[in-house]
Amino acid sequence: MAETLCQLSEQNFQEEVLESPIPVLVDFWAPWCMPCRMVAPIVEEIADKWSGKVKVCKLNTDEAISIAQKYGIQAIPTLIVFHQGREVDRVVGYVPKNQIEAKLQPLISK
Q: What is the pLDDT of residue 1?
A: 44
Domain count, the chain: 1
Put simply, whether the predicted model's pTM sits higher than 0.75 gets the answer: yes
SS3 of the chain: the string is CCCCEEECCCCCHHHHHHCCCCCEEEEEECCCCHHHHHHHHHHHHHHHHCCCCCEEEEEECCCCHHHHHHCCCCCCCEEEEEECCEEEEEEECCCCHHHHHHHHHHHHCC
What range does the domain containing 17 cover?
5-108
Q: What is the pLDDT of residue 36?
A: 96
pLDDT means per 10 residues, the chain with 110 residues, are 79 96 96 95 95 95 96 97 96 94 85
| CATH number of the domain enclosing 81 | 3.40.30.10
Catalytic machinery residues: 33, 36
